[in-house]
Every structure is written in C-alpha cells, then in structure tokens.
Amino acid sequence: METLAITGGRVLHPDGRVTESDVLVDRESGTIEAIGPDLEGDETLDADGGLVMPGLVNAHTHVAMSLLRGYADDKELDAWLQEDIWPIEAELTPEDVEVGAELGVLEMIKSGTTTFADMYFHVDRIADVVDRAGVRARLGHGIVTVGKDEEDARADVEEGIEVATTLDGAADGRIRTAFMPHSLTTVIEELLAEGLELAAAHDVPVHLHANETEDEVEPIVDERGERPIEYAAELGALGDGNFFAHGVHLDDAEIGLLAETDTAVVHCPASNMKLASGIAPVQRLHDAGVTVGLGTDGPASNNDLDLFDEMRDAAMVGKLGADDASAVPAGDVVEMATAGGAEAVGLPGGRVEPGAAADLAVVDLDAPHLTPVHNVVSHLAYAARGSDVRHTVCDGDVLMRDREVTTLDAEAVKARAAEHAAALVDRVGE
C-alpha cells in the first residue's frame, strides 16, 4: 500500500468537530485509511498550523467560461445572454473550450475545489482537462433547442445522450456524466420529453437550470397553468440523483415536490445577485429536507470560481432573504460546499473520515484575517479565502503542494488563456 500522511494539523470531522489529528491516505484506492495521532506514510504533506477539510464541491458551473470573465457585466440574464454571451460562445472553438477549462480547473485546484459539475459543449475537451488535472467531475453537454431547426435541435439532444453515455467512467472513474438540457424554457417540450426518456433508459442523471428568474417562471405558468417544477415532474425530470441549478423562485408546493422526489438544488448566490435574479429560499429548502449544494455558476457571472466566496455569499444573502440573522448559519454553508454538494452531484468526497474518498483541502489558518481561531467553521464560512488553501488532494493524489499546482503548468495555462481570449474577442468583433 502506497500511503500519504497529512500531518501536524487539525481535522474537520463530518459532525463539525475539530481535532488535532493526522490523516493517512491510501493512494492506490484513493481513500482515507485512518485519522489519529502520529500517523506515518510513504510521503508526507505538512499541515502544521492548518486545517484538513473536505475538498470543496462546485456543484454547478460552466468552467470554460473563464475565458469570458469580465467580458460583459452589469446586465440582466436575458440581455446578458442574448447580446453578449451567446454571440461570443458561438465563436468558441474546441481548443478555446479546452484552454478555458484548464484555466478554470487551475483556479479551482488553487482554491481547494476538488470536484465540480459542469454543463457546456465540446465536453470531450473538458473531460481531457479533468483527466490531466486529476480532479473529479460530473460533466454533460448543455442542450438548447430554441432558435434551431428540427434537425439541429434533435442533433443537440442526441449529442447530450452520446456525451452522457460515452464519457461516463472516464479518467479512471473520476468522470461521471449527466443529461443536461439547459433549462425548461430553452428546450422544446417534445425533445425534452424524448431526451429525458432516453436518459432514464440509460440510467443517466439529469441536471438543468430551473426557476432562475421570474422571466423564466412566467411563460411556463402562462402557457401551462402550472409551475416549472410541476412541469418538470410531469416530464419525469425529478428524482434521486437529479440536481437543478438555482431554484431562486420556488413556491412551497415546488419545494415539497423537490423534497419528496429527492431532487437536489444547487444554490448559486453570487450569480443570482450579479444578474439580479433574486434570493433563493435556502433556509426553506433546508427545512423541507432538500439536499442543497453550492455552485459558482460560470465565471462570467460571478466572476470567480472560489467557493470560499460562495460560502460567505450564501450565508449573507440567506440571512437577508429570510430576514433572520440565524438563517443559513456557518455550519450549513460549509456542509453545502462539501458533503451537500457531493451528495447533490452524486460523486464521492465531502467528508474527512476513514473509508471516504481522499478529496481534501488543507487551509492555512496562520493568517491575520484568520486570527484568532475561536471557531474554525466560522472562519471557513466568513473569513477564509481560496488563497488560504495550502495543499489540494483528490483521489489520493496531491494536486497542489505548498500552493504549487503539480498537474498543470500554471504560467503556461494563464498565458494560453489570455491569448485565446484576445483572439476570441477579435473574431466576434469582425
């Protein structure tokens, strides 16, 4: 057994307890072997003055949109997509997507994220980056049929199924897939129903954007006389293993349906604030027993992939939305960014305990903004930053040691991304 010992630090346990312990990882199985005092391994990672916590789970993003970071801001969702994002996305080549994904994954490793769920296109290129970088992901092809003729629309649905069935289990099992219609309003009913039936036949989970803005809810209510989650239920889109992004505008009956069917919700507070989409009822979802994960959404509507930022945003806006300072407390947001996210996207990780996947982040607590340490969980939610992460480990492999990413050449990735982004903006301007 080849082992990795993470020594000298504190450990955040699944029940929120923090102890001074070492962590021993079995690198072959990629799992945690033991937690306790004085553990020794073939290789050592120094966690002195730090906290070993679960690797963070970014449960909803479009990672290749890192190339569009800062390209268009300060607009509502509809105008932002139609005037800026969709025209420039139409120019993205497979290589652009790969370069953007590398940049995004680099940023995630540097901020302690080991796992993400991603909806985009040219997914084979994103899968290649996941494989090389050593992270874990649930990937899918984002399907949009509006504005397409019948043939193109059908081809898009077919690609969604093709990606979900062929890439599943890639990168030594670190890649799993999902069927990912963009949303309930951007895929026509007939094709949505057909695709969902095929996904079920292939036993593939479903991920889509739902109830993100009022403008997305109203047309469904006007046309069908029912709420979006009721429509999704009729189509068979709800169920254990399926997870919906946003869930900003939900009524009690919809929250009840999500809870009854074990459909998870991924809260994306920064994107919801930036696009003025609204405040998701996270405390109500939690009280109803819905599994809630945390996502950054794409880096063009955030504008970063730092889940520490997202935890802070979730706690802050959750209190504002509930008009209650005790709502969405620190422990809950840390749970959402770790075990909740892992459960939502159906991937291992999210817990530091023997037998669990060795997906870990070591956070350096020796910083002015983290002093004194009265309560580690409070610091993770309110005071820590992605740049405080010292080491990142996924599936038993060290992806970042002392802030040096080991699987990607950070300088080359940044240079390539800047070059591709500039060429992209030139093309769209022509």
What residue ranges bind Zn ion (CB under 5 A)? Answer: 297
CB of 245 to Zn ion, least distance (A): 5
CA distance 291 to 264: 5
Q: Which helix (H) or strand (E) holds 18?
A: strand 18-20
Nearer to Zn ion, 294 or 380 (CB): 294
CB of 302 closer than 8 Å to CB of 271:
yes
Nearer to Zn ion, 96 or 297 (CB): 297
CB of 85 to Zn ion, least distance (A): 11
Total number of residues shown for the chain: 430
CB of 285 to Zn ion, least distance (A): 18
CB of 180 to Zn ion, least distance (A): 10
CB of 278 to Zn ion, least distance (A): 15
Q: Which helix (H) or strand (E) holds 376?
A: helix 376-382
CB of 229 to Zn ion, least distance (A): 17
Nearest-CB residue for Zn ion: 297
CA distance 27 to 18: 24
What b/e string do you get for 379-417 counting C-beta neighbours within 10 Å, with b at 16 or more?
bbbbbbbbebbbbbbbbbbbbbbeeebebbebeebeebb
Q: How far is CA 54 from CA 32, 130, 359, 360, in A?
A: 11, 19, 6, 5
Q: How far is CA 6 from CA 54, 98, 131, 338, in A?
A: 13, 32, 24, 19
Nearer to Zn ion, 246 or 391 (CB): 246
Place of tokens 């629309």: 153
Nearer to Zn ion, 25 or 243 (CB): 243
CB of 168 to Zn ion, least distance (A): 21
Nearer to Zn ion, 118 or 395 (CB): 118
CA distance 196 to 202: 10
CB of 233 to Zn ion, least distance (A): 21
Six-digit token string for 124: 């084979």
List, in sequence order, every residue forming a beta bridge with 143; answer none if it has no partner. Answer: 181
CA atoms within 13 A on the CB side of 90: 10
Nearer to Zn ion, 27 or 60 (CB): 60
Place of tokens 């990607």: 408
Nearer to Zn ion, 180 or 199 (CB): 180
CA distance 362 to 367: 14
Nearer to Zn ion, 213 or 338 (CB): 213
Place of tokens 């997202």: 310
